[in-house]
Chains A and B, each alone.
Chain A
Amino acid sequence: MADTIKDNDIDKWDINITSGRGYLDFHFGELWHYRDLLIMFVKKDIITVYKQTILGPIWFVVQPLLTSMMFLIIFSRIANISTGAVPAVLFYLIGTTLWGYFSDTLNVTSKTFTENATVFGKVYFPRIILPLSKVVSGLVKFLIQFSLFLLVWLYYIFIDKKITPNWYILLSPIWLGVVVLLSFSFGTIITSLTTKYRDLIFLVGFGVQLAMYMTPVIIPLSEIHGKKKLFFLLNPLTSLFEAFKYGFFGQGVFDIKWLLYSVAFTLVTLVIGFIIFNKVEKRFIDTV
């Protein structure tokens, strides 16, 4: 009899299903157990995009290429907006590639709960795996698009000789990482809120489109003056994009103060995102 009591020791339970009101009740160990699921989701995302297409992954580069061309015609040729000393094509290409990653990831992750309700309604796995997988599959797509940018970039360095990169280029993976985290944390916050307040999803689609004009995708920060500049800088993406360009082109604003602001902003949203997501995932299926 003493043995059975020992067996029922509370420490030995594998799963404890509770009403879950703890704010900081994370199970990171469980995430590790599901790492293969993350990989499978990423594979699925990549494979399903080019199934039954002839060009396959090449389609990934068509998108930034066409957008850059469009920007070139509209903003550079027709509206005459300067991109500073950086060749317009290169400027738009890096802008749309980075922005494309941010907005795509944000859009997809912000629909995590609503779009996967049927799967979530039937089987348990750590829900956070899904937005995480979107972040990673977005990165794969980003890297393909980025290699297109690198080709054009190399052309401008060695053949056209218009730009000279500097050593700050080595920091760009960090800035990319911050952009990744920022899109992820915004996405998780929004998807958690949309389980109850569905209208948010419309606001988000609209807001993301507008936000592009508040980010140096079309206009470099150096072309913006006065009060407007502060608004641009308050956007955490601005200094990140600028730092990226500073490394690659030797042109742009590299302001450590604003970069720290962006990093701090990202970390705060990340924590908020984790907390809200963690709280919502336990019971969202009742409200979706």
Chain B
Amino acid sequence: MSKEVVIKAENISKLYRLGQVGTGTLSHDLKRWWAMTRGKEDPYLKIGAENDRTKTVQSDFAWALKDINFEIHKGDTLGIIGKNGAGKSTLLKLLSRVTSPTTGQIKVKGRIASLLEVGTGFHPELTGRENIFLNGAILGMTRKEILRKFDEIVDFAGVQMYIDTPVKRYSSGMYVRLAFGVAAHLEPEILIVDEVLAVGDAEFQKKCLGKMSDVASHGRTIIFVSHNMQAVQSLCKSAIYLKSGQIVDLGETDKVINNYLSREVKNCIAAEWSSEEEAPGNEYLSIMSARINPKLAEGVDVIDVATEIDITFEFILHKECNLNISLFLSTPSGLCIFNVSTLSVPLGKGRHSSTLTIPGRLLNDDIYTIRLFFVKDRGPVIFSIEDILTFEVVDEPRTGSWFGKWIGAVRPSLPFTLT
């Protein structure tokens, strides 16, 4: 049985002008206007390049979205995933009618509200009561609806005592609760939730997510935009994966997320050099290869926090010596997670290899880089190399209702009892 379609996007594209937007476009405007009044296509639409931030700009225009088509059915929970700049925000802006597409159209049934507008239009001089009415009206509620919900909103925000105090005297927590209270009582047919919510404290996040599942259980539609794959996985039935303004994949959440992770998680998990001349090194040694070997289950190709990892490297020693190797594992921000060292071993000339095993459930979800030090006779460092390998560890699927980031440099699994 197919359900009613509540949002239908047909061929939507959005063109942005890069660089200076302002005066000096008068001639462009006139040309465009002239072309269009003659019924021709906008001459500047052809110039657009794909929005890939890694490439240098070749054109003054870029497509933030290109030929997007999708349908959302009533009661669906749809996740939109993609890296920064993939076009997620642009799509949200189009859906919430803040701006309009360059081509194509979106048809919508019912009222759309988005939780990214929390507190929009709050005026610091007005009292809590006045702001509830003002903000509610901005979000599209009529006075009657607000009156009906008023007590609930005040209750939800817990500001009964201060309802006639200007909100500029509110604590930031009260302010946010009141603002969210208004948005949460909108009762839209379609709710858009942005990941911005994730920055709130745990309690706030819980409230937001609670509200979302509440809305979903009432047969209404939710569009959830996030970087957080775990939250998307557990809240959304289907997902859209955007990249450079285009839909890469669309469908069942698990499938889309796997696709996303395998394409977007960039690892330098192997490096190899064919000859000693090219290999990094000096008169003491040359590093011939370095490799990360995750012990992955069948059909999985990303490293998550539970994955056991072997880090192996091979090198050619040019001079016989007592050698020990020291390995630093750091995050890109420069925080060293740990430093481990081998024993000092007498080694002869020739090829040698070394392997470090990092057990599963030790590292947190983050990006890690590896730095090596070769030490001779427990004294001088004869060679060091930075960032020889880089890999990303992603979060594992979670259950429950909390999807915030685990705090901490490491995320070990330790015996922790409760009786």
- Per-residue CB contact flags for chain A residues 254-272 toward chain B (1 = under 8 Å, else 0) read 0000000000000000000
A34 to B377, CA, bound (A): 80
Contact B126 A47 (CB under 8 A): yes
A209 located at the interface, meaning its Cβ lies under 8 Å from any Cβ of chain B in the complex: no
> B138 in the interface, Cβ–Cβ < 8 Å?
yes
Once the chains are docked, how many angstroms separate the CA of A20 from the CA of B106? 11
User: Do A48 and B125 touch (CB < 8 A)?
Assistant: yes
Measured between beta carbons, the chain A residues less than 8 angstroms from B130 are: 43-44, 47
Residue of A nearest to B93 (CB): A285
Contact A196 B100 (CB under 8 A): no
Nearest opposing residue in chain B for A1, CB measure: B2
Interface size class of A (residues with CB under 8 A): 35 or more
Chain A CB within 8 A of B150 CB: no
Provided the pairs A15-B97, A123-B120 are in contact, do residues A34 and B140 lie with their beta carbons within 8 angstroms? yes
Check B120 against A51 for contact (C-beta < 8 Å): no
Complex contact A19–B101 (CB within 8 A): yes
Q: CB-CB < 8 A to A18: which residues of B? A: 100-101, 104-106
> Closest B-chain residue to A20, C-beta based?
B100
Q: Could you tell me if A282 and B107 are in contact, using CB atoms closer than 8 angstroms?
A: no
Residue A73, interface by CB 8 Å: no
25 interchain pairs, CB-CB under 8 A: A7-B5, A13-B108, A14-B109, A14-B110, A15-B97, A15-B106, A16-B107, A17-B107, A18-B101, A19-B103, A20-B100, A34-B137, A36-B142, A37-B138, A39-B137, A47-B130, A48-B125, A119-B138, A123-B96, A123-B117, A123-B121, A125-B138, A196-B29, A282-B99, A285-B93
* Residues on the A chain within 8 Å of B142, using CB: 33, 36
Query: Which of the four size classes fits the interface of chain B?
Result: 35 or more
- A17-B101 Cα distance, complex, nearest whole Å: 8
Residue of B with least CB distance to A38 = B137
Given contacts A19-B101, A123-B98, A123-B121, contact A199 B23 (CB under 8 A): yes
Which of chain B's residues have a CB closer than 8 A to the CB of A227? Answer: none
Write the B107-141 contact mask toward A (1 if CB under 8 angstroms, else 0): 11111101011001101011000100110011111
Cβ–Cβ < 8 Å partners of A48 in chain B: 123, 125-126
**B161 located at the interface, meaning its Cβ lies under 8 Å from any Cβ of chain A in the complex:** no
Complex CA gap A118/B137 in Å reads 17
| B143: A residues at CB distance < 8 A | 36, 39
In the bound complex, how far is the Cα of B22 from the Cα of A198, in angstroms?
7
Rounded to whole angstroms, the CA-CA distance of A230 and B68 in the bound complex is: 58
The residue of chain B having its C-beta at the shortest distance from the C-beta of A120 within the complex is B98
Q: Are B16 and A286 in contact (CB under 8 A)?
A: yes
Of A37, A120, A198, which contacts B137 at CB under 8 A? Answer: A37
